[in-house]
């Protein structure tokens, strides 16, 4: 019998950058176990060009990504197990009421697409966002692959909001992140 996929919804205000990165990275790292989607309160209608460029450079598919609203029509066929807020706003401010009591998790990453006036700084911001999301989602995917119980996996997602675990007791030992704005990390397992 096939285990149903865990469903995660990544939210941010405009669904043009952070939540798009999270959706794509999650699909890339754990698409066999997680159905990931993203949406925004006020979608911009476009994906930030640097987000697309950095995903492509990392070998992560951008197929099926688009900026979308979190309204009920857009996500009518999707009932998430957890909702993860990616932008810096409080999750209660972003949380769509129609999701009811779905588990809320706040990752609050700075939006790498807000300041693109300085290309070098923008590049570092995108590297940092991608490295952070890869770290959290890679550890999470490893836990799922090792048979972590569903409720424990959601607890792990919540804990990743406040800390970078040096090692997950349920997984192989991982090294801590190098520095802020590091290149996406390649973990040894």
Fold of 6-159: Rossmann fold (3.40.50)
Band of residue 165 on the pLDDT scale cut at 50, 70, 90: very low
pTM, full prediction: 0.79
Band of residue 18 on the pLDDT scale cut at 50, 70, 90: very high
Residue 158: predicted pLDDT: 60
Lowest mean pLDDT among 6-10, 13-17, 85-89, 158-162: 158-162
Q: Around Cβ 92, how many Cβ atoms within 10 Å?
A: 9
Q: Around Cβ 59, how many Cβ atoms within 10 Å?
A: 7
Residue closest to 102 by CA, chosen among 9, 4, 35, 5: 9
Comparing 101 with 44, the larger pLDDT belongs to 44
Task: Determine what percent of the chain is predicted with pLDDT higher than 90.
Answer: 24
What b-and-e string marks burial along 23-47, b requiring 16 or more CB atoms within 10 Å of the CB? bbbbbbbbeebbbbbbbbbebeeeb
Residue 140: predicted pLDDT: 81
Asked if residue 74 has pLDDT above 80, the reply is no
Asked if residue 64 has pLDDT above 70, the reply is yes
Band of residue 149 on the pLDDT scale cut at 50, 70, 90: low
Residue 167: predicted pLDDT: 41
**Strand pairing report for 6-12 and 82-85:** parallel
The CA distances from residue 27 to 22, 72, 107, 178, in Å, are: 8, 22, 18, 24
Asked if residue 77 has pLDDT above 70, the reply is yes
């Amino acid at each position: 019998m096939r285990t149903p996929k865990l469903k995660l919804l990544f939210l941010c205000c405009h669904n043009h950058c952070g939540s798009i990165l999270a959706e794509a990275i999650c699909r890339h790292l754990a698409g066999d176990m997680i159905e990931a989607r993203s949406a925004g309160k006020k979608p911009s209608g476009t994906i930030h060009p640097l987000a697309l460029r950095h995903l492509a450079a990392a070998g992560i598919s951008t197929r099926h990504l688009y900026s979308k609203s979190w309204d009920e029509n857009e996500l009518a066929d999707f009932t998430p197990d957890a909702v993860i807020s990616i932008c810096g706003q409080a999750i209660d401010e972003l949380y769509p009421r129609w999701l009811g009591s779905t588990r809320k998790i706040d990752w609050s990453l700075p939006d790498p697409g807000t300041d693109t006036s300085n290309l070098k700084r923008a590049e570092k911001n995108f590297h940092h966002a991608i490295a952070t999301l890869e770290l959290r989602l890679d550890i999470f995917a490893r836990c799922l692959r090792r048979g972590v119980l569903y409720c424990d996996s959601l607890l792990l997602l919540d804990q990743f909001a406040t800390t970078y675990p040096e090692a997950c007791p349920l997984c192989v030992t991982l090294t801590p992140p190098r520095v802020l704005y590091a290149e996406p990390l390649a973990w040894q397992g």
